[in-house]
Structure 1
């Protein structure tokens, strides 16, 4: 089974423009993400896919692999699908460019759901972690996900889900971590569908799978670090790095 990691990297992020090129310690955010993904040793190939000459040169200038997108894309999955369309590959892992603290153990756990008899039925998987601080639970920049008893995603939202109507009831809040794994055909199928209504409202691309009836197997993992969405996140990441 050939497994590759693709890192979609858009320069003009809406909330924090040029965030992937921000310095974090002795490297840029995107180089931390790339180098740490390579360092896991889990992949036959790791590549950044970008619309930016600046990001392309940042990766290739330091000995990494990168590819320029041919077309403009609404989502990272669309960007990756274009890049892998003609590649001989079984599983594609999408590591978001703003995840500089990538570690081996969560990715290894994610890939394991595709193996074995039951794993042959899994088309798409992703990672979640438990959210405990109320400020993060309330923050729309943190995408929440509700799970069924088999750890399949029921719904993703920037709102607080589930809503705690009964104050005495126990509840676990899960944050969706922007790391996906797809069978190649599932990824190509994703790009053939138009943007779905809930995806358009929430601006959460994986809702397109749920709205088209494709289950997403979620893997609960421990803390992966800080996803860089805002300047405040970058400050938190710098403290974590030090």
Structure 2
């Protein structure tokens, strides 16, 4: 089974233009992600999918392959599909370019589920949820079945619509979703060729298209999320934590 990791990285981020190249303790942000990803034991290849020559140069400087993709692709999944559609591979891991603390171990935990169950379409990550995250529309919740497969994702505090988590004495009804994915090459093609579904547009959650298409999504439980960088404020916070050795 050939497993490929792809880091989608575009220059024109709405909230943080030029984010992949911003400096984090002397290295571009994208370099941190690449170096963490290179420690994976299961990836047979690692590719940066970008639309920008500056990002291409930064990636090649640390010895990683680059696939140039169109600037108008709507999502990271589309950028990944464009990068691997002519590549010989079985599984594709979507490694977020703004996750500088990603580890090879985390990537391998996601990839391993396809080795254990070749019938899966897709896999993702989640961790135990806090009360603050449960109430936040920015924190995506996932409800699982007994096989740790996703039943539904939402920005709402599912499944606590009638009985609150505190009343039930447990937050085990859902997990906090982490937006890192792996897919079979076959399913990624099906996903990218399908139009956005109604539930996807209603919740503004791309992964709901996969459920609408009937995908089986394995959810890998981890202890906590790594710190991503969405805004300049996130970068400053991360830089402070790293400087303090945390």
Instruction: Please report the TM-score for the alignment, with normalisation by the length of structure 1.
Output: 0.90
2:139 to 132, 142, 146: 142
Distance 1:113 1:9, change over 3 A: same
Task: Give the Cα separation in 2 of the matches to 1:239 and 1:223.
Answer: 19
Alignment-derived partner of residue 24 in structure 1: 24
Q: Indicate which of 107, 126, 129 corresponds to 1:128.
A: 126
Q: Is the 8 A contact 2:50 2:68 kept in 1?
A: yes
Structure 1 residue 70, shift from structure 2 partner: 3.6
Distance 1:234 1:141 in 2: 18
**CA deviation digits over 1:45-64, x for unaligned, max 9?**
11110122222222123332
Q: Structure 1 residue runs of 4+, over 4 Å off?
A: none
Q: How far apart are the structure 2 equivalents of 1:40 and 1:109? A: 10
2 CA distance for matches of 1:235 and 1:175? 24
Q: Give the direction of change, closer, same or farther, for the CA distance of 1:30–1:203 in structure 2 (3 Å limit).
A: farther
Q: Which residue of 2 aligns with 1:159?
A: 156
**CA contact 1:225–1:237 (8 Å) conserved in 2:** no
> How much has 1:86 moved relative to structure 2?
0.8
Structure 2: 5+ residue stretches without partners: none
Give the conservation status (yes or no) of the 8 Å contact 1:103–1:224: no
1:151–1:77 CA distance, 2 compared to 1 (3 A): same
Check whether the contact 1:106–1:222 (CA below 8 A) recurs between aligned residues: no
Q: Is the 8 A contact 1:6 1:95 kept in 2?
A: yes
SS in 1 for 2:20: helix
Structure 1: segments with no counterpart, 5+ residues: none
Aligned residues: 239
- Give the alignment's TM-score, normalised by structure 2: 0.89
Provide the alpha-carbon RMSD of the alignment: 1.9
Q: Which residue is equivalent to 1:109?
A: 109
Determine helix, strand or coil for the equivalent of 1:32.
helix
Match of 1:216 in 2: 217
